[in-house]
Amino acid sequence: MVSADTIRAASVLPARRTRLELHTADGLRLVGELAVPEDRPPVATLVTLHPLPTHGGFMDSHVIRKASYRLPALAGIAVLRFNTRGTSSPHGTSEGAFDEGDDERFDVAAAIEYAEFSTEPVLPHRWLLGWSFGTDLALMHGLDPSVEGLILLSPPLKYSTDAHLDAWAASGKPVLALVPELDDYLRPDEARRRFARIPQAEVVGVDGAKHLWVGEPSVRRVLDEIVRRVAPDAYPLPTAWSAPQR
């Protein structure tokens, strides 16, 4: 009999992890990593966009890092994460300079293109996962034919405009916004009012959560909600892990 280990904040579950470079149309190299299931093809793909780099956000921000550590093994989801231009993390520094979401359009396009045209492995059913500043990047620059839907964590709607929301509305693509009850920028009631421009958008208020989703209960809720939309056969996620017997 194989015992199961409780999944904790520092748990790193098995996956095939590959460091990569993304190349933007304006000539920059961005550092990144792709994590895919160790023993099966991915069933879906998350292209992740991190929080504001001028306030400590990067590809290793904890929710994105934990998604890459857990979701390939638990749900068969591939997770692509990278540092936007001028951003540094333990994985390295991407070329270029922060541009308040404008030239970052090239970064978003490079990540989507990588996922769309990857053949080894094939990265199917691509969704954008943005967190904070990353939600603005997704709303402004992520409406691509190869993207199936959008998941937003703590959207501040700082750089994105009503015109961007209207474009997503017209696309008909699913949009999920997870909004902390105690968010510093946009709380659930106001988020529902703002996102009413997108008829298909679902705004989920998360009781007790804050903008940074600190604490294992908040992380579990986020990952569960992601899997519920992207890989529903794996929902709800287990809270313990047993390595498969070989």
Structure tokens that stand for 211 in this block: 């903008």
DSSP letters, 125-136, are SEEEEEETHHHH
Longest pairwise C-alpha distance within the chain: 56
Residue-wise pLDDT tens for the chain (246 aa)?
Answer: 345 899 999 999 999 999 999 999 999 999 999 999 999 999 999 999 999 999 999 999 999 999 999 999 999 999 999 999 999 999 999 999 999 999 999 999 999 999 999 999 999 999 999 999 999 999 999 999 999 999 999 999 999 999 999 999 999 999 999 999 999 999 999 999 999 999 999 999 999 999 999 999 999 999 999 999 999 999 999 999 987 755
DSSP letters, 144-178, are -TTEEEEEEES---SS--HHHHHHHHHHT--EEEE
Comparing CA positions, the residue from 213, 207, 226 lying closest to residue 74 is: 226
Please state whether beta strands 44-49 and 240-241 pair in parallel, antiparallel, or not at all (unpaired). unpaired
H-helix or E-strand spanning residue 16: strand 16-23
- Determine whether 76 is exposed, middle or buried from the number of CB atoms within 10 Å of its CB (0-12, 13-18, 19+): buried
Comparing CA positions, the residue from 232, 30, 235 lying closest to residue 149 is: 232
pLDDT for position 243: 76
Measured CA distances, 59 to 31, 84, 134, 140 (Å):
9, 8, 10, 19
Model pTM?
A: 0.97
Residues 6+ apart with CB under 8 A from 207: 181
Which backbone phi and psi does 64 adopt, to 5 degrees? Answer: -65, -40
Structure tokens that stand for 214 in this block: 């600190």
Domains and CATH numbers, the chain: 11-231 (3.40.50.1820)
β-pair partners for 16 = 36
Report d(CA 97, CA 171) in Å as an integer.
31
β-pair partners for 146 = none
